[in-house]
Each structure stands twice: as C-alpha cells, then as structure tokens.
C-alpha cells in the first residue's frame, strides 16, 4: 500500500527540513544508523557518512551535485551480514540500481535495509564540482537544486552536469522503499515522501508527518525530464557507436588508457575479489615485451589496454547502470561511461534485461533458458 507524507520547509531551507526528518528517523528505537551524503569538514567534497547520533546531522547534504563514489559499494559492505537492527540509506537512483544488482550477485542483502531514494537532478564531475562550490557548500547545493528544478543545470561558467547524468533516464528512484520527491514539487513549501514498499509505509507511519498534497504536475515534469535525457542518451549512443565501430577506432578511443584500473575500482558492480588483470597472467616477462616489439616494430606501452576494457565489457555490461563513476575515475578523461552504456544498451536489450530494475529478475547467463537466441543457433 502506497503512503504519502510531506516534509514542511521553513525559510526555503531544504537541508534543514531534511535534517529534521532524518533526526526523527534516527530517534526510532530499531534504527541503528543512517547512511547519507555529508560534507567533509576539512574539504567541500561530499562523501557517504554513517551517522548514529542525531546531533551529528549538521553536515549532511544529499542535495549536493557531487558524486565522488557510488554508495552501492558502501551499502554492500554494510548489508552482507546481520547487524541486529535497521540501517536507513539515502541513495541516488543509479546507486539503488547498482545495489540491486549486487544483491542479485550475493554481494549484499535487503534485509535490515530501508532505502530512501531522492529525486536526482544530476551531479558535476569531481574536478568541476570542486571548482564550482563556494565557501558555503550548502548554499551552493540549494542554488543548484532550485536551478535544476527549472531545467537549468549548466552554470554561468558554462559547466554542465556529467554526461552520465545528462543521459540518465531514471531520475526517480523506482527501487526505493521511500522516495523523497523534488520534481514537480513546490520545494520552497515542502518535500514529498512517497512509500513504494511495506517497509517504506511502515517507516512513514511512525514519523508523524503531515499528509502530502496532490502533486498535479509531478508526472509531467518527470516525463519531460526523461524525454530530454533520453534524447541526449540516444545521440550519445549514435556518436559512440561510430567512434568504436571497428578495432582500429576502438584502439584510438582507448589510446589514453594506462592500465591504472581506476574504472574497475570505481565501478559499483565490479565485485571480484581477485581480478585476472592483476594476477601473473598479465605480469609479462621483460623478454615478452621485447619479442612483441621485435615482431611488430613497435608496441604501445602499457600493453593489454584494449583487451582489459573488452574483458570488462563482456563481464559487466549486462549489470551496468550507467552511473558514470568509471569516467569520473579516469585520470586521462577517456569517455569510459559512454562506451559501457552504449554496449550495455545492446547486451541488455538482447537479454530483455534492465540492470537494477527488480531484485526478482535474474541476471543474464545466471540461468538456462531453452528457448533463448533461437535465431542465432538456428533452432526454430
């Protein structure tokens, strides 16, 4: 049963309103902790913070257009084993989808977790965010939030949100237990809370919040945003497909790769404890490099860069939710996200699968289907 409520906003301070309701949540007897983006006191960067004391909520900022890591990796660590109580986690839609994939891969549990998903207006790349944020980071977040709700995400300096966010067609957290609604809502007056599960309805029923008004424009505002982002996404797919349509062009596309493996580390659904690329399989002997160079006349160093990305595409494209952390982590600004999303669109479509859509939907290749790809194997 869907339940709705609202968080009253005073003096146009959305963060103060969120702090108040989060404090109420932490005051519930069975709630052990709250995981929420918060501003580091020594720097303006925003990172996930695990909070148990309601008096330590001053620095929270889930509205910040900053996305230095996908919190699904953190929630995976928090949820692997029982902790004897409930942890409430505040996540972006792409983080929730990544966590759902990790649950299906036995890397996390939904038990003891209540997920609050906040409407996502997008985030800047790490370097762009640190350049843009002012001395008062919360003010910067509130300014961005109000601007983005009017459809403007590009700053006066001409810096826009990350390409992954511009191409994201999931601004609303469909997999959350409770959605914190911003889109189509008069945020200077209130924020919308809407449950999407029994756990969510149970949480809202204990918070003693006023009823939410009917948000007449919300569905249309969301539809318009999804349409704009989908158009950008489709243009991105077309351009990227052209850029990597053969091995020579793919090699050019990935020419800046230095095998740092940052994209693998940042990827929320790349969970192997030991990666083949950091084993002795790819720890070549010096003579091997010389033999390759002698055979071809020259070789690019480091080697195996294209093979590395093709391997990751084969392993991860069906689970890719397009969060963009791979591009965010690349030291040489390779558009890794664009490549992975373009390939993921094809592989997920082939399996009639959408990453993170449902915990009940089994990942591709995890079960045998007798009537799958008959047109490929020649069976009618």
Strand arrangement, sheet containing 178-181: 4-8, 190-195, 178-181, 113-118, 86-91, 31-39, 46-51
- pLDDT at residue 134, as a whole number: 66
Give domain limits for the chain.
Answer: 4-228, 244-377
3 state SS of 367? coil
Burial of residue 302 (CB within 10 Å: 0-12, 13-18, 19+) is: middle
State the Cα angle at 324 between 319 and 330, rounded to 5°: 115
Is residue 39 classed exposed, middle or buried when 0-12, 13-18 and 19+ CB atoms within 10 A define those classes? buried
Q: β-strands 4-8, 46-51: how paired?
A: unpaired
3-class secondary structure, 47: strand
The mean per-residue pLDDT over the stretch 320-349 comes to 96
**Per-residue model confidence (pLDDT) at position 139:** 60
What pairs with residue 192 in β-bridges?
6, 181
| Contact by Cβ (8 Å): 148, 122 | yes
Six-digit token pair at 325?
A: 């952390």
- Residue 368 binned pLDDT confidence (cut-offs 50, 70, 90): confident
Per-residue confidence (pLDDT) for residue 184, from 0 to 100: 95
Give me the mean pLDDT over the 149-166 stretch.
93
The pair of structure tokens assigned to 12 is 């146009």
Predicted TM-score (pTM) of the model is 0.93
Confidence (pLDDT) at 133: 82
pLDDT at res. 233: 97
- According to the model, what pLDDT value does residue 7 have? 95
pLDDT at 50: 97
Question: Which comes out higher in pLDDT, residue 291 or 3?
Answer: 291
Backbone angles phi, psi at 7, to 5 degrees: -105, 115
Q: Is residue 137 scored above 70 in pLDDT?
A: no
Digit-coded pLDDT (tens) for 95-120: 999 999 999 999 999 999 999 999 99
């Amino acid at each position: 049963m869907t339940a709705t409520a609202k968080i009253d906003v005073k003096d146009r301070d959305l963060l103060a309103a969120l702090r108040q309701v989060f404090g109420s949540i932490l005051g519930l007897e069975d709630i052990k902790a709250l995981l929420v983006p918060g501003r580091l006191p020594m720097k303006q960067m925003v990172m996930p913070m695990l909070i148990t004391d309601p008096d330590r909520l001053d620095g929270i900022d889930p509205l910040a257009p900053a996305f230095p890591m996908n919190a699904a990796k953190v929630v995976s660590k928090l949820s692997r084993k029982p902790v004897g109580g409930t942890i409430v986690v505040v996540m972006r839609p792409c983080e929730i989808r990544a966590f759902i994939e990790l649950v299906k891969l036995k890397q996390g549990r939904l038990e003891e977790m209540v997920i609050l998903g906040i409407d996502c207006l997008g985030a800047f790349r790490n370097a762009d965010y640190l350049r843009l944020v002012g001395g008062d980071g919360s003010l910067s977040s509130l300014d961005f939030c109000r601007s983005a709700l009017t459809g403007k995400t590009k700053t006066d300096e001409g810096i826009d949100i990350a390409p992954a966010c511009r191409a994201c067609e999931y601004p609303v957290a469909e997999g959350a237990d409770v959605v914190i609604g911003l889109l189509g809502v008069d945020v200077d007056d209130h924020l919308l809370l809407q449950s999407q599960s029994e756990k969510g309805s149970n949480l809202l029923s204990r918070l003693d919040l006023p009823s939410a008004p009917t948000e007449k424009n919300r569905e249309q505002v969301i539809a318009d945003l999804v349409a704009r982002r989908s158009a950008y996404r489709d243009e991105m797919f077309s351009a990227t497909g052209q850029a990597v349509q053969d091995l020579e062009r793919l090699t050019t596309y990935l020419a800046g790769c230095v095998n740092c493996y940052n994209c693998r580390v940042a990827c929320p659904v790349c969970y192997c404890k030991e990666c083949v690329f950091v084993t002795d399989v790819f720890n070549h002997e010096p003579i091997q490099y010389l033999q390759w160079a002698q055979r071809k006349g020259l070789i690019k160093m480091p080697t195996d860069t294209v093979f590395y990305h093709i391997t990751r595409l084969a392993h991860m494209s069906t689970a890719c939710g397009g969060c963009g952390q791979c591009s965010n982590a690349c030291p040489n600004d390779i558009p890794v996200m664009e490549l992975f999303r373009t390939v993921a669109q094809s592989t997920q479509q082939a399996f009639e699968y959408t990453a993170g859509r449902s915990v009940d939907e089994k990942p591709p290749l995890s079960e045998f289907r007798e009537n799958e790809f008959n047109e490929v194997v020649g069976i009618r």
